[in-house]
């Protein structure tokens, strides 16, 4: 494999942040690439796997990024086994990240580990003095990701937590909690990332309310260059046209919330 495509990173710290969920802070060894919130890297673990991850923290001044991920397969299991001082190879960043809006107030909605890629967006929007609120959802309190960090950035009164089993915050999903907040505050814009069934339900709610939004989607990514087509969704290549899509594009996608694709390109129904 041509190593010129890859940037070397050293693991500076490692932390288990939720159930089966890890954060690795990585220090770039060389020229640090510029990363926008919502863009992704292809993480390469030689002889094991290569897969996409969007950073949960970006510090250009130090040449550092943080990756937060759930262990789901061989690749993420191997990544979770890396220790401080180990080397990680990544290429990128790829894709179109979140496009900033001048509107306010703004609601940001995360589901599960999908909360992680939203943190750099929260940080930049709050620094630009936007009025930002966040809803974070998870199955249980042990699955919540980076809620303390979000509270430090915005203040506890701006962060709403929801859990399916009611072990923390509002009992219900992040969409349930968002609906309650949308009844109290007239938001001008919404950003979201999380499981696709959750995003689809939120998308339909926001369309009814006439609120423009952007959502970070997930698909199987191979090349990340817009060539192979493995990440197609209704003719759009997620790796180059996304992974962030606007509400105007999402409402034209028939596969959004309906079908995903396997590594072979086979379409599989998405369970609501």
pLDDT, one tens digit per residue, over 155-207 is 999 999 999 999 999 999 999 999 999 999 999 999 999 999 999 999 999 99
How far out from the chain centre does Cα 138 lie? 14
Final residue before a domain boundary, out of 94, 112, 147: 94
State residue 3's pLDDT score.
55
Residue 55, domain CATH: 2.40.30.10
Q: Dihedrals φ, ψ of 131, to 5°?
A: -85, 105
pLDDT of residue 1: 47
User: Please, what is the Cα angle at 140 between 139 and 142, to 5 degrees?
Assistant: 125
pLDDT band, residue 4 (cuts 50/70/90): low
Q: Are residues 108 and 139 in the same domain?
A: yes
pLDDT band at 2 (very low <50, low <70, confident <90, very high): very low
Tens digits of residue pLDDT in 51-75: 999 999 999 889 999 999 999 999 9
Domain end among 63, 94, 125: 94
- Domain span holding position 43: 3-94
- Total of domains in the chain: 3
Per-residue model confidence as pLDDT tens digits over 100-147:
998 899 999 999 999 999 999 999 999 988 899 999 999 999 999 999
User: Does residue 196 share a domain with residue 182?
Assistant: yes
**Cβ proximity of 136 and 181 under 8 Å:** no
272 vs 36: which has the higher pLDDT: 36
Specify whether 82 is located in the same domain as 113. Answer: no
Kindly state the average pLDDT of the residues 78-102: 95
Q: From the DSSP assignment, how many helices (H) and strands (E) are in the chain?
A: 7, 18
Q: Is 184 helix (H, G, I), strand (E, B) or coil?
A: helix
Question: Quick one: average pLDDT of 249-254?
Answer: 94
Mean pLDDT across 234-245? 94
Task: Give the pLDDT confidence of 206-236 residue by residue, as tens digits.
Answer: 999 999 999 999 998 989 988 888 888 988 9
Q: How far apart are CA 199 and CA 175, in angstroms?
A: 8
Tell me what the mean pLDDT of segment 8-34 comes to.
94
Least trusted range by pLDDT, from 1-5, 37-41, 223-227: 1-5
Cis previous bond, 105, omega within 30 = yes
SS3 (DSSP) at 62: coil
Tell me: do 237 and 165 sit in the same domain: no
Same domain? 54 vs 121: no
Cβ pair 225, 254 in contact under 8 A: no
Q: What is the pTM of this model?
A: 0.94
């Amino acid at each position: 494999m041509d190593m010129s495509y890859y940037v070397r990173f050293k693991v500076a710290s490692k932390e288990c942040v939720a159930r089966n969920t890890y954060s690795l802070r990585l220090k770039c060894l060389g020229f640090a690439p510029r990363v926008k919130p919502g863009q992704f890297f292809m993480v390469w673990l030689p002889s094991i796997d290569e897969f996409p991850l969007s950073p949960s923290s970006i510090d250009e001044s130090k040449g550092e990024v943080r990756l937060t991920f759930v262990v789901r397969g061989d690749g993420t299991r191997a990544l979770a086994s890396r220790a401080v001082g180990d080397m990680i190879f990544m290429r990128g960043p790829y894709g179109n990240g979140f496009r900033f809006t001048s509107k306010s107030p703004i609601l940001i909605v995360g589901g599960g580990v999908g909360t992680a890629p939203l943190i750099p967006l929260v940080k930049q929007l709050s620094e630009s003095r936007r009025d930002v609120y966040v809803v974070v959802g998870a199955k249980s309190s042990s699955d919540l990701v980076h809620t303390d960090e979000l509270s430090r950035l915005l203040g506890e009164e701006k962060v709403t937590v929801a859990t399916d089993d009611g072990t923390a915050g509002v009992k219900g999903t992040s969409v349930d909690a968002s609906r309650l907040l949308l009844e109290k505050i007239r938001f001008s814009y919404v950003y979201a990332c999380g499981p696709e069934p959750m995003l689809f339900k939120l998308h339909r709610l926001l369309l009814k309310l006439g609120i423009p939004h952007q959502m970070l989607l997930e698909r199987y990514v191979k090349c990340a260059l817009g060539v192979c087509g493995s990440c197609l969704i209704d003719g759009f290549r997620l790796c180059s046209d996304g992974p962030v899509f606007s509400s105007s594009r999402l409402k034209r996608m028939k596969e959004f919330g309906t079908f995903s694709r396997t590594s072979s390109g086979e379409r599989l129904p998405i369970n609501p």
